[in-house]
Chain A
Amino acid sequence: QKEVEQNSGPLSVPEGAIASLNCTYSDRGSQSFFWYRQYSGKSPELIMSIYSNGDKEDGRFTAQLNKASQYVSLLIRDSQPSDSATYLCAVDQGGTSYGKLTFGQGTILTVHP
């Protein structure tokens, strides 16, 4: 079973701090990695994608990928209360399972004023 594991939450950070969310995956053939944000009672929303080793920045969000360690992370700088949500890591299956993503269990983030 190809797995995606996320750091157990919930994670609570003060407003303005950096929130760090982590994810590991088991399939070395995976090539595409995504972070989704899900507000309570809503559907997951794609916020970041990363395909190459290193960092990718988009506004206050930075995704980091290390394929050798099979590790992907999401940093949220200057965290705001509106960032409070569940963050889901998703990894493509690779190989013959073209187009199929596996999701982690999610990390609940709370940003308190």
Chain B
Amino acid sequence: DAGVIQSPRHEVTEMGQEVTLRCKPISGHDYLFWYRQTMMRGLELLIYFNNNVPIDDSGMPEDRFSAKMPNASFSTLKIQPSEPRDSAVYFCASSFGGQGYGYTFGSGTRLTVV
């Protein structure tokens, strides 16, 4: 298996632009997580899905952020409009069976909003 695949690896965009991050989880995994990592706040859970259904989006900072999982092999995280404070590394992770199983992380997307 190729692991969790994220794209793009790096994204530089101007404030106000729309940004879309993409994730392909490991085949067969039924949980998908979106995390954001910064030096100040560490790893923060934004939203997670179980069997393509959003379970908890309480970590989504504000309405500018949205996430979808149209099928078991694809998810997107969208920021519209982007702001400089959104600059961070965004990780997607997947797991099988939920509780008791560790996550496998993707390589991450480093987002810079200027």
* Cβ 8 A contact of B103, one of A46, A94, A97, A106: A46
Q: Which A residues touch B42, using CB under 8 A? A: 103-106
B31 touches A46 (CB 8 A): no
Q: Which of B19-27, B61-69, B72-80, B92-100 contacts A (4 or more CB under 8 A)?
A: B92-100
Expressed in whole angstroms, the minimum distance between the Cβ of B58 and any Cβ of chain A is 10
Given contacts A49-B102, A94-B99, A104-B42, 18 further A-B contacts (CB under 8 A): A31-B99, A36-B102, A43-B91, A44-B43, A44-B103, A44-B105, A45-B105, A46-B103, A46-B104, A51-B100, A92-B99, A92-B100, A99-B31, A99-B48, A99-B95, A99-B98, A99-B99, A100-B45
A13 to chain B, nearest CB (A): 23
Interfacial residues, chain B to chain A (CB-CB below 8 A)? 31, 33, 42-43, 45, 48, 50, 55-56, 91, 95, 98-108
Q: Give A77-113 interface residues, CB cut-off 8 Å to B.
A: 88, 90, 92, 94, 97-106
29 A–B contacts from the bound complex (CB under 8 Å): A31-B100, A32-B99, A32-B100, A36-B102, A42-B107, A43-B91, A43-B106, A44-B43, A44-B91, A44-B103, A44-B105, A45-B105, A46-B104, A49-B102, A90-B102, A92-B100, A97-B56, A98-B98, A98-B99, A99-B48, A99-B50, A99-B98, A100-B45, A100-B55, A101-B45, A101-B103, A102-B45, A103-B43, A104-B42
Question: Which residues 36-80 of A have a CB within 8 angstroms of B?
Answer: 36, 42-46, 49, 51
- Alpha-carbon gap, A36 to B98, bound state (A): 17
Closest to B50 in A: A99
Q: How far is the CB of B45 from chain A (nearest CB, A)?
A: 7
The smallest beta-carbon distance between A17 and chain B, in angstroms, is: 26
